[in-house]
Structure formats: structure tokens, C-alpha cells
Amino acid sequence: MKTSLKIAALGASLLVAGTISQAAPASENWEANCAKCHGADGKGETKVGKKLKVKDYTDAAVQAKLTDDELLKAITTGVKEGEKEKMKAFNDVLTKEEIADLVAFVRKFKS
């Protein structure tokens, strides 16, 4: 009974997502757009993450050095090192609300 209810709820939410483009929860956006480099756990211990030397967001010292504005700007306009793009801009993929939610989501990795 519980399972079928869950499936019905899932079906309904997929239907809604398909018709009106709703803001996806930060956890889903993280999984879909960010985890490849930053890791599902925010530690950045993925193949690409290690190569690009992403920071460990579970480290309080790392978090302390970053302001909310910096996080917001990095996700919105991307990160460049000189001319080289380290991380792409997400303002064409995610809404402002979704990006703000992701900033809060990144903060939550701190243990």
C-alpha cells in the first residue's frame, strides 16, 4: 500500500515537472549538475574533481574563507583561471532561486 502510494506520488510529480517547469530541489540540481566534479558528498573526491582541484566543502576552514556572495557568483557566472574555464556558468541552466538554494546546500556540507 505504501509503495503504491509512493509510486503514484512520484508519477504525479513527474507529470507536474513535465508540464510546468518547476524549480528542482537543490539536492536534485546538485546531483545532476555539480556532483560530477564536487562529489555527492561535497568533498570533490571524484576523478574530475581531483584533476581540477576542487575544494572540500565539508572542511570548515574552506567554508570560512568563502562568502555567500562568492558562492553565488561562482555558480551564476562560473569560475575562470585567466582565460581557462574551470567551472561553467549555470545562469542559463538554473534559475536565480535554484542557485540561491544551491548556495545554502553547499553550506550544509560543512560538518
What residues line the site for ligand HEC (CB under 6 A)? Answer: 33-34, 36-38, 48, 52, 54-55, 66, 71, 74-75, 79, 86-87, 90, 102, 106
Which residue, 6 or 36, is less far from ligand HEC as judged by CB?
36
Q: Say which amino acid occupies 3.
A: T
Cα separation values, 107 from 6, 9, 22, 42, 62, Å: 30, 30, 23, 10, 10
8 or 48: CB nearest ligand HEC: 48
**Which of 1, 81 has the CB closer to ligand HEC?**
81
CB 91 within 8 A of CB 76: yes
Minimal distance, residue 41 CB to ligand HEC, in Å: 14
CB of 17 to ligand HEC, least distance (A): 18
CB of 106 to ligand HEC, least distance (A): 5
- CB nearer to ligand HEC: pick between 6 and 65: 65
Whether the CA torsion 31, 104, 19, 91 is positive or negative: it is: negative
CB 110, min distance to ligand HEC, A: 13
